[in-house]
Amino acid sequence: MSVGAPQPELELACKAGIARTTLQLGDLRQGRQLAMQLNSVPLFKECALILEGLQQLTVGRGERAGRGTGHCAQACCWHSASCLVRLGAG
């Protein structure tokens, strides 16, 4: 039984959403892996913002700053995307 024609754009949008949500839930390894599979610069920028937000949350909760910095260190491949976000490149 066929549901319809494949919709690659919809599939990519769904996978990008899963990658972002996975990062927001704290599974950095899985979220990073999903995003890297999609190889999308806009998604990398969004993920960098999410990781920066996680860093601010952990520091804001009174936890030691090293843990927040660790989020970014664990996802070192996001460094270039994070720089793009800060510079406003796009």
* Residue 45 domain-assigned (yes or no): yes
What pLDDT is recorded for position 73? 46
* Residue 24 domain-assigned (yes or no): yes
Q: Is the pLDDT of residue 32 over 80?
A: yes
Structurally, the chain folds into a number of domains equal to 1
Cα separation of 19 and 38, whole Å?
9
Average pLDDT over residues 11-24: 95
Residue with structure tokens 């030691």? Answer: 64
Give the residue numbers spanning the domain of 56.
Answer: 8-87
* Residue 28 domain-assigned (yes or no): yes
Give helix 28-38 / helix 41-60 axis angle, nearest 10°. Answer: 160
* Residue 2 domain-assigned (yes or no): no
* Residue 3 domain-assigned (yes or no): no
* Residue 1 domain-assigned (yes or no): no
Please tell me which residue, 88 or 8, carries the higher pLDDT value.
8
* Residue 64 domain-assigned (yes or no): yes
Classify the C-alpha dihedral 21-69-65-52 as positive or negative.
Answer: negative
What pLDDT is recorded for position 3? 76
For residue 36, count CB atoms less than 10 angstroms from its CB and return exposed for 0-12, middle for 13-18, buried for 19 or more: middle
pLDDT in tens, 37-88: 999 999 999 998 998 888 866 655 555 444 444 444 444 455 555 554 554 4
